[in-house]
């Protein structure tokens, strides 16, 4: 859902390579060439990049603020950029209720 920070198997840091990987794919690199360019040689790290589905970008398009009866359904996601990092913050809507 959110970009993997480290490889689950070997622990190599991957989060700093995600945007570069997407940029290489947009520049018509094949997946193999993009991963080779990023020096990801281990198949465990390659798996992490190849199989990641970036759902958070799709979820940001939905507006749930204040439309549900439940406190949890009235949460919204704020998406901010600072220093090249993306932070996802869940905040309750002012119209949220705790009764469902």
| The total number of structural domains that make up the chain | 2
Q: Tell me whether residue 35 is in a domain.
A: yes
Q: Tell me whether residue 48 is in a domain.
A: yes
Residues 48 and 20 in one domain: yes
Task: Please say if the pLDDT value at position 72 is more than 50.
Answer: no
Q: What's residue 83's pLDDT?
A: 46
Q: What is the pTM of this model?
A: 0.58
Residues 20 and 47 in one domain: yes
The range of the structural domain enclosing residue 36 comes to 15-53
> Which residue, 58, 48, 49, is CA-closest to 21?
49
Residues 45 and 74 in one domain: no
Q: What's residue 96's pLDDT?
A: 47
Residues 45 and 73 in one domain: no
Q: Tell me whether residue 38 is in a domain.
A: yes
**For the segment 13-68, what is each residue's pLDDT rounded down to a tens digit?**
999 999 999 999 999 999 999 999 999 999 999 999 999 887 777 777 776 655 54
Residue 40 belongs to domain with CATH number? 1.10.10.60
Q: What's residue 26's pLDDT?
A: 94
């Amino acid at each position: 859902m959110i970009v993997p920070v480290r490889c689950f198997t070997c622990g190599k840091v991957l989060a700093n390579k995600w945007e570069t990987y997407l940029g290489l794919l947009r520049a018509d690199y094949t997946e193999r060439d993009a991963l080779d360019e990023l020096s990801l040689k281990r198949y465990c790290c390659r798996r992490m990049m190849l199989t990641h589905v970036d759902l958070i970008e799709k979820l940001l398009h939905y507006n749930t603020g204040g439309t549900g009866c439940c406190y949890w359904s009235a949460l919204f996601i704020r998406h901010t950029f600072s220093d090249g990092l993306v932070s996802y913050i869940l905040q309750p809507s002012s119209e949220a209720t705790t009764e469902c």
